Amino acid sequence: MKKRWLSLVSLLLVFSFIISGCSSSTSTKDKDDKKAAKLEIFSWWTGAGEEDGLKALIKLFKEKYPNVPVENAAVAGGAGTNAKAVLASRMQGNDPPATFQVHGGAELNAGWVAAGKMEPLNDLYDKEGWKDKFPQSLIDMVSKDGNIYSVPVNIHRGNVIWYNKKVFADNGLTPPKTFDEFFAVADKLKAKGITPLSLGDKEPWTATMLFEDILVGTIGTEKYIKLWSGDLPLNDPGVVEATKTFKKMLDYVNADHSSRNWQDASQMVGKGEAAMNVMGDWAKGYFVNDLKLKTNEDFGFITTPGTEGDFLVITDTFGLPKGVKNPDDVKKFLSVLGSVEGQDAFNPLKGSIPARIDADPAKYDEYGKQTIADFKDAKLAPSLAHGSAAPEGFLTKVNQAINIFVTQKDVDQFIDSLVAASSDLKK
Amino acid sequence: MELNRTEKRSAVLPETKAKRNRKLTTDHLLALCFILPSIVLIAVFVYGFIGWTGYVSMSNWNTLVPDFSFAGLKNYAYLFQDYRFQADLRNTLVFTVLFIAVVVLAGQALAIFLDQKIRGESLFRNIFFFPMALSFVVTGVVWQWLLNPSTGVNLFLKKFGLDSMWYTNTDILAGFKWGKIEFGIPVAIIAVVIAAVWQMTGFSLAMYLAGLRAIPEELKEAARIDGASEFKVYRKVIIPLLRPITVSVIIIMAHISLKIFDLIYAMTGPGANFVTDVPGVYMFETTFRGNYYANGAAIAIIMLLFVAIFIVPYLISSRKGES
C-alpha cells in the first residue's frame, strides 16, 4: 500500500517536471516576442575595420531614429563561415534576424530568395529613388524575376595583384598586364630566388579566387557569367585554357602554401619574401592597418592579367526576411544603409568602396578613389569564390576540385569534376 | 537477480505466485518512475536524433530548403564514389592504426619505466599526464606552429639541412591506385599523429601504471624464484596480465581517433589534396558550408557505424564477463 502511494507521488513528480518544462519554454517564447521588437542586425563583421564601420552605421541610424532599439548580432568567424551556419538554423527554425548580411548574387538569389524566405524591396527602391543610384548590373545581382531583394552597402574588388614595390624596382621590373608579361616577370624573379607569387590556400577559397581571376582574364566577363547561368558548358575550351594557365602559375607559388592563410600570404609580399599576391582588396586594409605599409610606396596594386576593364565584385548586402515582426523598422535601417551618408560612414572604415555611384570620393584613400573610378565603367563579374556567381553547394564542390588540382595538377580530372558538379548549379 | 530468486521461490510455492507478481509490478512501477525521465531524455535526444539523422541521410535534403522525400541509399552511394570521402577513409584508417599503435606501445613502455621505483616518479607522471588536461584545439594550434615548415623548430632544422614539409607534404608512401585515390600512408598525417600521441600517451600511461600496480608482487616473486630473468618476468608474466588494460586503451583511443575533428580542424584543416581530411571535417564543411544536409547526415551515420564496430564487440564481451 505504502509503495503504491510512493509510486503515485513519483508519477506526480514526473508530471510536474514535464509541466514545468513546458511552462519554462512558454516563458522564453514571451521573451523572444519582446526581443523581436528590437532591430537585430546580423552580420559577421567582427574584424578590426569592419566592426568600426558597422558601429558607425548603427550610430548614424540611432541619430536618425532614436526610438528604434538596435541590437548588433554579429557572429565572429572569417568570411562568415560560422555566421552562415547560425543563420541557416535560425531561418529554418522560422526565427529570422531583422536583417542579415548576405553576398549579392547566387548566395542571395539561389539561396534565400529561392527558398521563399525574403520580401521584395521594390517599393523601397522606388521611394528612395535608388534605381539609378546603383549600377544596373549590381541591381541585377540582387534581383530575381524582376523583384529586388536586398540593398548593397559596399563593393570589394577581387581581381587585384598586390606587389612589393621595392622588389619590382630592385629588379627593374614592371607590374605585368598580360599573362605573357606575368610569366616573364615570374621567371626573372624565380631566377633571383624570390617567390614570384604567394598563395595561402589553407582555406581553398583563395586558390579558387586566383582561378576565377585567371578565368575572367582568359575568357572575359560575358562568357564567365554564361558559365554560371548554364549557357556555356564548363568544359568550354576557354575554361581548359584558363586551367592550363592556372597550372603553370602554380609552379611559381611558395612551397608551403597549404599551411598559410591569406594574411600569411599577403605578409610575404609585405616583407619582400614574395613579389606578388592575388587577393581581394580587403588585403589593402591588412597592408595599411596591420603591417603599417604605405599604398603606392611600399606596396602597389594592379588588376590581374587580362582583367583591366573587368571588376570581380564581392558585395555585402542586407535584405528583409519574411516573418519579421518589425518590417517598417527594418526598412528604415535599409534606407540609411543605402543612403550616400550611410555608405560614406561605413566604407572608408571597412576599406571597401560604396555601392552607390554618387558617393563622395574625397572621403576615400588613394586606392579607394581609383577603384571608385574603375567601378563606374568596368564590366562587373560576380565572384565565384565568395558565393556571388553560383550556389554554395556548387562552390563547395569547386573548392574541393581546386584543392585536389593544386596538388595533382591534372587538367582533365579538374574539368571532369567541374562538369560533374554543374548539376548543382541549378539549385 | 531479484527476478531469478522470486521465480525460484514461486516455483516452490505456486499458490503465492499471484501475490508476489503484484508486488513485483509495484516495485517495477516505482523503479520505472524514477528512471523514466532519463529514459525519455535519452530516447529522444540520443536515439531519437540518431534515428532522425539516419532518416535525413536517406532524404533529398541537399539544399537550404528541407526536402524530406525519400532518396534511398543515393547519398551513401555518392559518398563512396567521392574522391574526398575515399581520401577520408584512407586517412582515418592510417591515422587510427598509427595513433593506437604508438599510444599503446609508448604508454606501456613509459609505464614500465616509471614503475621501476625511480626518483621523482610523481613528477614524471605529472609531466606525461599533463597534455591530457589540454583541449585538442589547443594542441592543434600549438603543433600547427611547431610543425609549420616556415616557422618554429623548422627554422632551426633548416640550418642543419633538414627541410621537412611536415603537414604540407602531399606525398603518399607505399601508394597504389585504389578507387579514385592513391592509397597509402600520407606523410602529412604523421604530423597529426605526433600531436595526437603527445596529447593521449599520458592517458594510456596512467592506465598501464594502474594495471602494473594491481599485479600482485607474489606473481613476480614466484616467477623470479622459478629462475626467470627480469626480462622474462615482463614478457611472460606482467605484459600478458596487462592485456585487459590494452583492450580498454584500444577501445578508448579508437573511438577518439575515428571521431577526431577538433585537432585536425585546428591544426591542418583538410590539407592540400585532402591528405589530412577526416570524415568529421568533411561532414562539417559539406553540411554547414555547402548545405548538403543529407550527405552530411550520411557521413555521420557512417562514422557511427565505424565506432560501433569497435564498441559493440567490447560491450558484448564485457557483458559476458559480468555474467
Please indicate whether, in this complex, the C-beta atoms of B168 and A6 are within 8 angstroms of each other: no
Chain B residues 134-163 within an 8 A CB cutoff of chain A:
144, 148-150
d(C-alpha B26, C-alpha B8), whole Å: 20
CB A404 within 8 A of CB B170: no
CA distances from A104 to A208, A274, A382 (A): 18, 33, 8
d(C-alpha A258, C-alpha A263), whole Å: 13
Residue A40, phi then psi, degrees to nearest 5: -95, 115
d(C-alpha A226, C-alpha A223), whole Å: 5
d(C-alpha A388, C-alpha A107), whole Å: 6
Question: Fold identical between A38-154+314-374 and A157-312+384-426?
Answer: yes
- Those residues with Cβ within 8 angstroms of residue A361's Cβ, 6 or more apart along the chain or in another chain: A368, A369, A372, A373
Topology at the third CATH level for domain A157-312+384-426: D-Maltodextrin-Binding Protein; domain 2 (3.40.190)
Q: Could you list the pLDDT tens digit for every one of the 323 residues in chain B?
A: 444 444 444 444 455 555 555 567 888 888 889 999 999 999 999 999 999 999 999 999 998 888 899 999 999 999 999 999 999 999 999 999 999 999 999 999 999 999 888 888 889 888 998 998 899 999 999 999 888 887 777 888 888 877 778 888 888 888 888 888 889 999 999 999 999 999 999 999 999 999 999 999 999 899 999 998 989 999 999 999 999 999 999 999 999 999 999 999 999 989 999 999 999 999 999 998 888 999 999 999 999 999 999 889 888 988 887 76
Write down the pLDDT at residue B120: 86
Q: What is the DSSP letter of B71?
A: -
Write down the pLDDT at residue B20: 55
Per residue in A282-309, pLDDT tens? 999 889 988 999 999 999 999 999 999 9
DSSP calls for A330-367: HHHHHHHHTSHHHHHHHHHHHT-EESSTTS-GGGS-HH
Judged by a CB distance cut-off of 8 A, whether residue B168 touches chain A is yes
CATH architecture of the region B74-322: Orthogonal Bundle (1.10)
Q: What is the DSSP letter of A118?
A: B
Per residue in A36-92, pLDDT tens? 478 999 999 988 788 899 999 999 999 999 999 999 999 887 667 788 888 988 998
d(C-alpha A332, C-alpha A49), whole Å: 24
- Those residues with Cβ within 8 angstroms of residue A190's Cβ, 6 or more apart along the chain or in another chain: A196, A252
Which residues of chain A neighbour B36 with C-beta distances below 8 Å?
Answer: 14
d(C-alpha A111, C-alpha A424), whole Å: 12
A38-154+314-374: CATH number: 3.40.190.10
CB hemisphere CA count around A71 (13 angstroms): 13
d(C-alpha B48, C-alpha A411), whole Å: 46
The whole-number average pLDDT for the span A304-330 is 94
The closest of B200, B202, B205 to B109, measured between CA atoms, is B205
CB burial readout A65-95, b (16+ within 10 A) else e: beebebebbbbeeebbbebbbbbbebbeeee
C-alpha grid cell for residue A61?
541610424
d(C-alpha A250, C-alpha A247), whole Å: 5
d(C-alpha A133, C-alpha A338), whole Å: 9
C-alpha grid cell for residue B195?
600531436
Look at residue A144 and give its three-state secondary structure: strand
Please report, for chain A, the start and end positions of each structural domain, with discontinuous segments joined by +: 38-154+314-374, 157-312+384-426
* pLDDT over threshold 70, residue A33: no
The C-alpha of B182 sits at a distance from chain A's nearest C-alpha, in angstroms, of 11
Please report, for chain B, the start and end positions of each structural domain, with discontinuous segments joined by +: 23-57, 74-322
Residue A331, phi then psi, degrees to nearest 5: -65, -35
Identity at A424, one-letter amino acid code: D
Judged by a CB distance cut-off of 8 A, whether residue A94 touches chain B is no
B150, B270, B289 ranked by CB distance to A392: nearest = B289
C-alpha grid cell for residue A175?
607590374
Residue indicated by cell numbers 616518479: B121
The whole-number average pLDDT for the span A219-247 is 95
Q: How many CB pairs under 8 A join A and B?
A: 101
Judged by a CB distance cut-off of 8 A, whether residue A112 touches chain B is yes
* pLDDT over threshold 60, residue A8: no
CB B121 within 8 A of CB B114: yes
Residue indicated by cell numbers 549590381: A138
A11, A114, A427 ranked by CB distance to B33: nearest = A11
Judged by a CB distance cut-off of 8 A, whether residue A6 touches chain B is yes
For an interface test with B, give the residue of A13, A206, A258 to mutate (most B CBs within 10 A): A258
Per residue in A109-135, pLDDT tens? 999 999 899 999 999 999 999 999 999
d(C-alpha A352, C-alpha A338), whole Å: 15
ipTM > 0.85 for the complex = no
